[in-house]
Structures are given as structure tokens and as C-alpha cells.
Amino acid sequence: MDKRPIGVFDSGLGGLTVLKEINKYLPNENTIYFGDTARVPYGPRSKETIIKYTFQAINFLNTKDVKAIVIACNTATARALVEAKEKYDLPIIGVVEAGARTAVYSTKNKKVGIIGTTGTINSKAYNKAIKSMDSKIKVIGKACPIFVPLVEEGWANKEISSMAAHMYLDSLVEKGIDSLILGCTHYPILKRTIGEAVGEDIKLINPARETALDLKNILEKRNIINTSEKKGNCIYYVSDINDQFSKVAGEFLKRKITNLEKIEIHRY
Amino acid sequence: MDKRPIGVFDSGLGGLTVLKEINKYLPNENTIYFGDTARVPYGPRSKETIIKYTFQAINFLNTKDVKAIVIACNTATARALVEAKEKYDLPIIGVVEAGARTAVYSTKNKKVGIIGTTGTINSKAYNKAIKSMDSKIKVIGKACPIFVPLVEEGWANKEISSMAAHMYLDSLVEKGIDSLILGCTHYPILKRTIGEAVGEDIKLINPARETALDLKNILEKRNIINTSEKKGNCIYYVSDINDQFSKVAGEFLKRKITNLEKIEIHRY
């Protein structure tokens, strides 16, 4: 029985969609969320910078005595997970492997699409993960940098998002993919719009759920699960607080955020 | 005769549109450009964070012995210019006052629109500057957070930008403005699209040109202008280098960037 919290880290607020799945499948676990809102988005930044930011986030979470860390950010997972696992001793779980595995199970024609930020797509992290599981699968990536700002503007279900979805995704559909990984934690909010743009024959894969199940497995195997019957609490930390925070956070998490604190992340 | 360079600072690359005007009106001046690309965009960040970032940028530029600083970023000007002027001795010029003055000269019906990032609009910096020059002018602000990512995606002249322009600007047109300040250094790239959306009766005001003329005035008054007949050089510094840099920079500046160096801005 291990009551220590699980650390969940994202470049901003998108990781709240992952936190939500963790709270669903591991309701008794305490969680610490850190969103690096002072330096979001990570998507366009260099690998070197993303590694530095990820280490700082892990250093911070370690001051809270976490028993495991979920990097709930596709860009940070794609660019810095390997380096983080080398540097730190505790279990660190990214969102890429879980999403890749689900895609491998899902695809029948062995053509998988992956969409995400420029950083995630350029890293080819999903391609590598999928190829390592089934080398015959063809993986086609497409960076969609407008999607995050569209979600944050609250325009996810408006015609402009549908237009952006077609501009990005028509070429993927033409290439005959049968599964599409939503490789950015903001994209589940666009799920309906993306689904309408690509048509119902293409299965949309949201790595967040699978990541939560991975985490559950790992906690059980290591015997560090929290067996308390009390509902876990969550404390939220961000590196900057702005006006949009509660609006976006509410939309992602579908519940009100309390226990929010700002920290100086560059000190870690 | 003062050969020391002029420091030009922006949160990212948008300030290159201001640098371009400075190079045009002060061709013999040497310039140092710093783009805080590791922490862009400043738009959604808190005032406190923007002040900290601006001071770090000025501290860095001061290590290069600059004789004057242009804050070529509407958000940083709106949130941190007053504080920067109090803290530092050298001349510091922002982009807001110049844009506001041009709008005051331009408007005939005394209804001025201002568009920019969330940070710039919430600061009401343009409203205050315009009101201080003519209290009868009505200023109507509108934050347009999708515009910067649309420009950076290279979609400035596509239908999706036209749709976004109508979504943001139709309400401003209905309110009867006759002048519209492009209160973000990225927006001149969208000038044609914005112009078509609002119609030709509304005058678009680009603060960059006026800022360069302000700078020229100040250098002349203080007798620190560079009277050399040699064309000035420009050295570029950024806090992060990514793949998109040269693509976006080239589009903004319409010339190739050499002399580029990455710095660790949090150390300043």
C-alpha cells in the first residue's frame, strides 16, 4: 500500500485529458499535476530545450515524493522520454507507446496515420514505436499546428476547425489509412470534428486511456498501488497563471480546479 | 557619431517586421535582434512573467552595449514598457505609442479598432495611449489568437485565414470603426486578408513604420545617430533554434538571415 502521489506532467493543459483517464481507472490514487504554462507550447521547440524542460518538470515532481511519473505530453514523450528514463530511477511512462500499441491492434490494412505537433511528428517517435511492434505497418505522419490554438480558442466544433481538419487530413485519407492516432493531448477535444473530416471508416485512437491502463499495470506489478478506499486528491501546479486557465482547464477536465499553485520551474 | 548598435527585442520572430522598417529608415545603424523563441508566445502569459522576460531581454541586449532598445513586441510593450523605462537608463521605445498616434491622426469618425494577442488587448495599452491623446475617440479592442499560428503555418492568404478574419472582425466593422490598428507584429503578413475582410473604407495601421520614425527622432535629438555612410550590420540572437526559424524569418524579413546565435536567456 503506497499512498505517495503519481506525478503527471504536460507542457500546458492538454495533459488534463490524460489525468482524467488516470482518475477514471485509478480513482484512489493521489495525483500531482504540473503544467508548464509559462513555456507552452513545446511543439516547435528544439529537442535539447524540450529535454531541459522535461528534466526540470521531473525534478519538481520529485520534490513532491511521487512514486511514478506520467509524461502526459506527446512532444515531451517523443523528444525526452528515453533520456528521462536513463537519468531517473522511478517509473516514467510516456503517452507514445500506449498509443502505438493500440494502433497496431486496431489496423487491419496496416496503414496508420499519426497527427500531432511539429515536434512530435518530426521526432518520428510513433513510427519507431509502431515499427518495433510490427515492421510491416506503414505509418504516415502529419503535423497539425493550428489544432491546439483552435481548441484553446473554443472553436473545436466550428466550421473553421472542420476546414482546418480537411486541409490537414484529406491527404491522409487519400493514402488509405484505416486508423488515426490523435497524437496530441488537445486533439480528443476535436474528436468529433476530426471524425467527420476523415469519415467513419477510419478509427480514431486516443492514447490517454491506454496510458492510464499502462500505469495501472505498472503500479500493480511493482506493488505500489494505493489500496485505500478513499478517493484520491489532486494538486495542480503551473509555471504561469493566466486568464484562460480556468476556461480551458474546465473544458478539458469537466470539473472545477481547486488546489492550484504557481511555481518557478526554471529553479528546478 | 555613435556606432553602438540598436537593440531590437521581440518574443519571437514577429519583431522582424519592425527591424525591417528600422533598417529602411536608419540604414546605417548597426542592429542586434533578440527573439525569445524558447518562450514565445508572450500573448497568453501573465503581466508578471512578461515583465521578467522583458527585463532578461534588456539585460542581454545591454551586454552588447546597445545605445537604444526597441521593444518590437506589442504584448511586451503593453505589459512591461513602463516598468522597463523606470528600471533602465537608456532610451527604450515600444510599438504601442507610435501605432496609437497614427490612429489618432487617421480616424475621422473617432472610432478606432485595435486587434492583437489576448495579452495586448487585455492590457488596454492602446486604449490608454489613444485616450491620452484624444479622449473623445472610442477604442474597440478584439483579441485574435488564431492569427499568429495561421501566419506561422504559411496560411496567411488562404481561405481559412479569411474565415478567421471574418469571425474576429465582422463585429468590429458593424460597430463602425474607420481605422484598425494591426496591434501584433505578425499581422502585417495578414494585411491583404484582413483588408479584404473589413473592406477598403477601413484604414489599416501598421505601427512598425511609425516606431522606426520615432526611433530616428530620438537618436537625432540625443545626438547618438550613426552618421557612417556604411550600411549597418545586424546580428541575430534567439533563445531556441527550430526547423521553422528560417522559413518564417525569411517570409518576415524578405532576406536571408546570417549571424545567428542561440543564447540561454534565463541566465540574464
Residue of A nearest to B146 (CA): A149
Whether B1 is in a domain gets the answer: no
Whether B24 and B90 share a structural domain:
yes
Helices (H), chain B: 16-25, 47-62, 74-87, 96-106, 118-123, 125-133, 147-152, 159-174, 191-198, 207-221, 245-253
Region at A139 (left for phi over 0; alpha for psi -120 to 50; beta for the rest)? beta
| Residue A158 sits in the same domain as residue A228 | no
Looking at B163, B184, B207, which one is the last position of a domain?
Answer: B207
Taking a C-beta distance cutoff of 8 angstroms, is the pair A15, A73 a contact?
yes
Say whether both A77 and A10 belong to one domain: yes
Give this complex's ipTM: 0.81
> Within a domain: residue A89?
yes
What is the domain range of residue B85?
6-94+209-267
Please check if A43 is assigned to a binding site: yes
Same domain for A127 and A54: no
Distance from CA of B262 to the nearest CA of A (A): 11
State the residue for C-alpha cell 546570417: B258
| Chain B environment of A45 (Cβ under 8 Å) | 38, 240, 242
3-state secondary structure at position A181 = strand
Taking chain A, what is the end-to-end CA distance rounded to the nearest angstrom? 29
**Is A1 inside any structural domain?**
no
Q: Does residue B161 belong to any structural domain of this protein?
A: yes
**Which chain A residues are closer than 8 Å to B45 by Cβ?**
38, 240, 242
| Residue that finishes a domain, picked among B159, B191, B207 | B207
Tell me, what's the pLDDT at B7? 98
In a domain, B125, yes or no: yes
> Cβ A242–B167 below 8 Å, yes or no?
no
Same domain for B32 and B165 = no
Domain edge (last residue) among B161, B188, B207: B207
Specify if A203 maps to a domain: yes
Take residue A94 and report the three cell numbers written for it.
510516456
Can you state the angle between helices A74-87 and A96-106, rounded to 10 degrees?
120
Mean pLDDT by 10 residues, chain A (268 residues): 95 91 95 92 87 97 98 93 96 94 96 92 93 97 94 92 98 97 92 97 94 95 93 93 73 80 93
Whether residue A252 sits in one domain with residue A196: no
A183 and A132 within one domain: yes
Give yes or no: residues B229 and B181 share one domain: no
Quick one: A111 and A172 in the same domain? yes
pLDDT of residue B45: 86
Same domain for A121 and A166, yes or no, is yes
Of residues A40, A68, A69, A73, which has the active-site annotation?
A: A73
pLDDT of res. B99: 93
Residue B69 forms part of a structural domain: yes
Give B81's pLDDT tier (boundaries 50, 70, 90): very high
Q: Evaluate whether residue B109 is within a structural domain.
A: yes
B157: pLDDT strictly greater than 70: yes
* Shortest distance, CA A200 to any CA of chain B (angstroms): 24
Together in a domain, B29 and B154 = no
Type of residue numbered A38: A
Contacts of A240 in chain B (CB under 8 A): 45-46, 49
Q: Supply the pLDDT for residue A263.
A: 95
For chain A, the domain total comes to 2
Kindly state whether residues A216 and A228 are assigned to the same domain. yes
| Digit-coded pLDDT (tens) for B8-56 | 999 988 899 999 999 999 999 999 999 998 888 887 788 999 999 999 9
- Assign residue A133 the CATH number of its domain: 3.40.50.1860
